[in-house]
Amino acid sequence: MPQALYFLLLLACPLAMVLMMRAMHGGHGQHSGADDHHEPDEVSLDDLRARRSELERKIADRELSESLPADARR
């Protein structure tokens, strides 16, 4: 009996960790990270290309604004 108790105590920590991890992720098994934005499973290639173009434009604008001197940004 004491051996079974020690074995259960040994398993308690990893088992609790698994249960907490499942609870934190809502039980769906996917890591959500900081961004909880979920994409639909089927997004058209044209939509993805349009989003990429928009992001590239935003990146270029940000890089340009950061490369300007501080007094020219105002």
* pLDDT tens over the chain, length 74 residues: 788 888 888 888 888 888 888 888 875 555 555 555 666 678 899 999 999 999 999 999 999 988 887 666 55
Distance CA 74, CA 68 (A): 10
Cβ–Cβ contacts within 10 Å for residue 53, how many? 10
SS3 content of the chain, % helix, strand, coil (to 5): 65, 0, 35
What is the pLDDT, as a whole number, of residue 40? 64
- Sequence-distant (≥ 6) Cβ neighbours of residue 60 within 8 angstroms: none
